[in-house]
Chain A
Amino acid sequence: MRVAIAGAGKVGRAIARELLQNGHEILLIDRDPALARPGVVEGAETLMADACEVTALEEARLSECQVVVAATGDDKVNLVVSLLAKTEFGVPRVVARVNHPKNEWMFDESWGGRRGCLNSTHPFSFGRRSSFRWRLGETIFLPPR
């Protein structure tokens, strides 16, 4: 499965490693050249770009992704990336991270998703064993811990 992750910070890299272990194809997108360098996560593809720009997402071949994860430290970016992934590129499953509790109220159905949690033991396994029911076309907003 092809997964694009916006934001190659701690959270993005951790998700990338876990998905790579499960045999998925990973693209990490970050506008910081230090984080978007090849090899930042062994086995992951990288793209140095602003994930809010439609041209960057086209270059990332977002329409071929089964999952897009918006995991940057900026809530504005995460909302915009999740919206673009869903509306412009028809990505079936989108996850966006909420960083700041103060912004949590904004992450709602007006951005095409709902707040929820992923399977805590295998959050990104997407396998048959996953007990979490995640409907296609639905964006999941992960609240801050």
Chain B
Amino acid sequence: MGCGRVGALLATWLDQQGHSVAVIDQDAAAFRKLRPDFTGITVKGVGFDRETLESAGITRAHAFAAVSSGDNSNILGARVARETYGVEHVIARIYDPKRAAVYQRLGIPTVATVTWTATQIMKAVLPTGASEEFSDPTGTMTLAEVPLHEHWLGRNAKELEEATGARIAFVTRYGAAVLPTPTLVLQQGDAIHLLFPPGERERIEGIALFCEKGNS
């Protein structure tokens, strides 16, 4: 649902992988974004309208992606696809960050474009904070590279762990990852990868980067 840049790209990828694709858009001109060799079908209409969805083959659909420019249309489309037609895999792109979180809680998987983009840009413009590398499936444990204040240089791994309460998963030194021993002395150029619950992030950043008082 929605043949903008995202919708057209998704349709192209799925089509190229051999899936059967139907693209819905209110504006027939939007279908010009599809490649000339696109083999799927295009349906002009409102994406949460039953007739439109049915002519797009919603009853046989394995998945439904709502990626139009309207948050409200996307959520209506996603809900109708799931509640009315029982489509198994449904996802909605939502710009408004708070609404995205609400719908996620209500059981509609969302892609929060604005939050994601802003986060990526923040990482690029402020390369000082911890950068997340892994999050466990429950979202309660994070692995992140945490930059260190120079006052940590010359101190050992155990001291950093005790001060932050985090675990050092590994240290990247001279281009290779090494497992830390408690007595490993931290030195300039080390990249420290810490494991910690995501809620602890700011406190740990404060200790590692701004030498705020930790546990020690």
Contacts and interface: CB of A to CB of B under 8 A. Distances in A.
A80 B71 CA distance: 10
B61 interface: no
A79 B76 contact: yes
B75 interface: yes
B126 to A, nearest CB: 24
Contact of B96 (A53, A74, A79): A53
A84 B94 CA distance: 15
A76 interface: yes
A18 interface: no
A87 B72 contact: no
B50 interface: yes
A110 interface: yes
Nearest to B75: A80
B96 to A, nearest CB: 6
Interface stretch (B5-13, B34-42, B98-106): B98-106
A61 B26 CA distance: 36
B83 A76 contact: no
Interface in B21-52: 48-50
Main SS class of interface, B = helix
Given A105-B50, A110-B83, A52 B72 contact: yes
A116 B65 CA distance: 32
B72 A54 contact: no
B112 interface: no
29 contacts: A52-B71, A52-B72, A52-B96, A52-B99, A53-B96, A53-B98, A53-B99, A54-B96, A54-B98, A54-B99, A54-B102, A55-B98, A74-B72, A76-B70, A76-B73, A77-B72, A79-B72, A79-B76, A80-B72, A80-B75, A80-B76, A83-B106, A84-B99, A87-B102, A87-B106, A106-B48, A106-B80, A110-B83, A111-B79
Interface of A: 52-55, 74, 76-77, 79-80, 83-84, 87-88, 102, 105-106, 110-111
Given A77-B72, A84-B99, A110-B83, 10 more contacts: A52-B71, A53-B98, A53-B99, A54-B99, A76-B70, A76-B72, A79-B76, A80-B99, A83-B106, A111-B79
Interface of B: 48-50, 70-73, 75-76, 79-80, 83, 96, 98-99, 102, 106
